[in-house]
A and B are shown apart, each in its own frame.
Chain A
Amino acid sequence: MRKVLIANRGEIARRILRTCRARGVATVAVYSEADAGWPFVREADEAVLLGPPPVAQSYLNLEKIVAIAKETGADAIHPGYGFLSENPTFARRCREEGIAFIGPDPDVIAAMGDKVNARRTMQRAGVPVVPGTDEPLASVEAALGAAAAIGYPVMLKASAGGGGIGMQVCRTPEELKAAYGTATARAKAYFGCGDVFLEKYIDDPRHIEVQILADAHGNVVHLFERDCSVQRRHQKVIEETPSPFLTEEARQAICAAAVAAAKAVGYVGAGTVEFLVDADQNFYFLEMNTRLQVEHPITEETLGLDLVALQLDIAEGKPLPFTQEDVAARRKGHAIECRVYAEDPVTFLPAPGRIVAYEPPSGEGVRVDDGVEAGLTVTPYYDPMIAKLVVSGSTREEALARGRAALAAYRIEGLKHNIPFLQRVLESEPFVQGRYTTHLVQELQAQEQKGARQS
């Protein structure tokens, strides 16, 4: 591999550039008009303008990106995360043009992108999935029978719904009987289809995922887990590894399941298997992400690895340079990632604007992956993430203390950002004790509202 085109922007483009530079691989950046002055454009060996800011005309314009790769003589494309990273058509087009797509096979991307298919594949591979009905329910009797088999509480879901719309939690057969009629009627009214499904409802879930690596020679290893339970708007804000919640036994089981999942689909590359974990440490497959993830640095920090470099090795057909035992021997300490977003720290609404002053923290155990600098404008066209603060230490306490100090030292002026919110989480009792679920952010908000009313 001599030249890599990076089909992305901001911090992840810069992150990939860093590894390419260290390996002596030439780089091509592509950028929209809105990103013309950004560091990733300047730092690449070559930079080519894609078009106007909207993503359809820039970072999602796959034909244009493939054409630029050919014109510049790039022999590989790294898609980063988001945008085209999980687009099987793009991966296929790269292959047709003789350009290496740094990611898995297009058929694997497509198979894991189809949630129903992914669920069936995992069931066949012996990976637990959230128990539920695969076909729409025919009647309230059928619903009651299915719920009895699944076990309460259950969630009634409109098959045409999504994003939380048309979902109802039922804790008893009586609740299910009462909910069934209204749920089907509402599904018909809202979505034009009255079909409903049942799924086991996980009361206090943790969102825990396992990083895996697989080479073209049949070797698959896991790189342990990341706990991504701290979420707002169903999106991750803080991740840590190891998970403070999992027992060693559960950790081994969930990591083994992730390896089985990767093997079941013939995976090659870096990928992540996401699970929901209940209060009793039972885990259920959620989805597989067939790309590098935002939170990959915490895995790098605890294992002393460069995941982008390993992705390049795998794309070049090299075998993995280590075994599962080697990985286990490398593991040390604790790492936490805080995503710094341009958004209101209370309402979580996006807050684009100009960065007037920018000074990221530094010091032992502090890593900042960012893509911005003072004077730049964070536009409304793309994701609000402006940086990732990654802190590590020999213990969780040490990492946490470094995280608090680093957040206090972080200076961003000119636009609203969520650092005050990140500080609140890192100081909250449930987070400090490592006893938190995906409900943590709502719980903190409810507490604050109560506090505001009382004062």
Chain B
Amino acid sequence: MNNVLRYLFFLLVVRPIVLIVLGLNIRRGELLPKKGPAIVVANHNSHLDAIVLMTLFGMSRLHDVHPVAAADYFLKNPRRAWFSTKIIGILPLERKVAGMRTDPLAGICEGLERNEILILFPEGSRGEPEQMAKLQNGIAHVAKRRPDVPVVPVFLHGLGKALPRGEGILVPFFVDIFVGEKVEWTGNRDEFIATLETRFEELSQECYRPEWD
């Protein structure tokens, strides 16, 4: 039942909004992973980021694609939790790991075991729209455990203008999507994060961004 609802929601609500109201310009879409296990990492500006990235994989791969999202925010109340986990299909992640006894990355690793394509936002939060924050280390921990899983960086532009944090009205803008070459685990955490940051920097340089302030 939930799967049907999820499917219908993406077909009838998400896709029309993303493809008609917004509209995507995708560069190098062929670099996106064809099948799981894989991790797509993206910059985070808006609640729309995850669902826009999910539409890139088409309806046929929808059941395989899951965004990793903050448990403290998305599981806050039962209604939001139901919608996030059952309809959007998020994989909840605890952001505050201090004093935790269980393994915070267990959920992500299980997802990868199930050959899913996971969407991660290594900045950790939406922050200031259209401005990149420093990457968190979590993604490096995942890469260290599963060095065989490709980590594909995707740079998004426009969604922070369309629906920034704290805004309720969606204003149509074209969304630019730049897919980068996958990043390999090198054995060093700082090096991995640095490579990823450089890759994002290169992708953002490629993007034409009009002034917005």
**A-B interaction:** no
